[in-house]
Chains A and B, each alone.
Chain A
Amino acid sequence: MTIEKHKPNPRDWVETHADYLYAYAYARINDEEQARDLVQDTFLAALERVDKFEGKSTERTWLTAILKNKIVDVYRKKSSAPIVTDIAIAEQAQADFFDNDNGHWTAERAPQSFGIDNHDPLMSREFNQILQKCMQKLPALWKSVFTMKHMDEETTDTICAELKLTPSNFWVIIHRTKLNLRACLQKNWS
């Protein structure tokens, strides 16, 4: 019995996969122009190694894997700017969440009850918009970690390796990201 091999067919790539890859990239980087560039880069990179395509996976899986690597490159580039000011600013913004001496929530920043406590589907559309806006405001590195964890369901090890983080760094980011999102949601939900 022979295993049927998938043969790549570059002339059909745009029709068959471009929209899919575009949506995939856009969902992860939220930038139309950059998403477009990534689709093009993916196809060109794929062409260069099309003879190495072994047909072990489908064409789409193969192309998506190439795109995924390119997205991680974008994450890495964004979060390794010489001085990562966005993180400093975001950290500063939550400097007064907890009392420095005893780690208690401070009176001003302690979570309060707001709209999300009851799960109303009519509200969820509006809620999603606020949530998206709050995610956009996250520092680039935090957003990358958050997306890889929740959208791609990558393991902690993979994320640490690809973004060059220590595990303790990773956990601090997970914690701070959620503190930030929650505060942002409470602030903008009214």
Chain B
Amino acid sequence: MGQLKNIIHNCKQATFLIEKKLVDRLTFRETIELRIHLMGCSVCTLYNKQSRMIHEMVQQLFRSSVNSDMRLDDGFKKNLKERIEEELNKN
């Protein structure tokens, strides 16, 4: 019971659980603890909302950066081709 009382007032632990929940599953106990904390804490409720929003935006950002149209310059490519040709001719 002492532990439960702990979480009710502990924002550090609550935000830890909020982050854990975004990437993994919480245990049953952790779920209850977090729910109780959020019922009584408006700051962490706001944190929870913002954290989820940031999470989504990060995912979106990463998805778009993978498809980005970054190009190597032609000079570098030419050198690279020559380098590969050299290696191939070694054998």
Of B12, B47, B71, which contacts A103 at CB under 8 A? Answer: B12
Of B10, B51, B61, B83, which contacts A182 at CB under 8 A? Answer: B51
Q: Is A93 an interface residue (CB 8 A)?
A: no
Q: Is A11 an interface residue (CB 8 A)?
A: yes
Closest A residue to B81 by beta carbon equals A14
* Interface contact B80-A185, CB-CB below 8 Å: no
Of A13, A18, A117, which contacts B53 at CB under 8 A? Answer: A117
In the complex, what residues of A have CB within 8 A of residue B61's CB?
128, 131-132
Q: Is A60 an interface residue (CB 8 A)?
A: no
Would you give 18 A-B contacts (Cβ < 8 Å), ordered by A?
A10-B84, A10-B88, A14-B81, A18-B72, A18-B77, A18-B80, A27-B62, A103-B10, A105-B11, A111-B43, A111-B47, A113-B46, A116-B50, A124-B57, A131-B54, A132-B61, A150-B62, A185-B54
Residues of B within 8 A of A (CB): 6, 9-13, 15-16, 19-20, 23-24, 43-44, 46-47, 49-51, 53-54, 57-59, 61-62, 65-66, 68-72, 76-77, 80-81, 83-85, 87-88
